[in-house]
Amino acid sequence: LGNATGSIAGCVCPAHEYVSGRSAGVVACSECPVGARCSVSGECALQYAGFVCPDTGAAIVGTWTLTGTGVTLAGCPDGYEVRGEAGAEETQECRKCSAEDYILLDPSGGAHTVGACKECPKGFACNGNSAVAAMSGASWSNVGGQVSAQSCPTGHAVDGDTCTLCGAGTECTAGVCTACVPCAQGYYSAGGGTSCQPCPLNTYGASPALGSCAACTS
């Protein structure tokens, strides 16, 4: 409840708490949010200038705002999702995405205020933060922090946030291909992103979308 040293301004809270308000000669102490605790000492960084932990010399992750009655986690940087239960300030934290996930800032700027880590799409190499590598020959966009495929290499179709490889009997040759199309009659494709080819000599294709041609018989 504070330790008076001659005035209310001199009152402090226990190490694991912070001053959430001062009013009418009373200091209010509240439990430190999970994401505002110093990693080594366990002290609440909200007690210190710039929210910098004295044990590590580093500031806690996220944009935190003291409201006069509590604290709000306003946002997190690239690679972290905002976590916390509604009405429970002590559960607030910026949680780092795993190596199999990603979360990106909206290109318009600002920190995350909502949103969870997203599963890494096919064709990407994710490491949790803004370093997201796409497959060679494809182009990608970041709209509102959501990564989506804009165009794919030959033999792949744009499928939401990823590029899908065309299967046997189909091809994708358009500049921006949104669906693999079946090979015409007399043509075949073995799959794996290959384009449709005419049936070889002494073979034939009696129907569309063939993965191989049949041998001619006498």
* 8-state DSSP, 203: E
* pLDDT tens, position by position, 12-40: 899 999 999 887 778 899 999 999 999 99
* 8-state DSSP, 163: E
Mean pLDDT for the stretch of residues 82-87:
86
Please give the mean pLDDT across all residues of the chain.
83
* pLDDT tens, position by position, 123-181: 666 666 654 555 777 887 777 767 778 888 888 998 877 788 999 999 998 778 899 99
Token digits for 98? Answer: 């795993």
Please tell me the predicted confidence (pLDDT) of residue 210. 96
Q: Rounded to whole angstroms, how far apart are CA atoms 191 and 18?
A: 62
Claim: this prediction has a pTM higher than 0.85: no
The one-letter amino acid at 15: A
Torsion of CA 107, 113, 116, 119, to 10 degrees: 10
- Between the alpha carbon of residue 118 and those of residues 11, 24, 63, 82, 95, the distances in Å are 44, 47, 21, 13, 13
Q: Is 37 in a helix, a strand, or coil?
A: strand
Token digits for 148? Answer: 């989506």
Q: Is 35 in a helix, a strand, or coil?
A: helix
CB atoms within 10 A of CB 141: 12
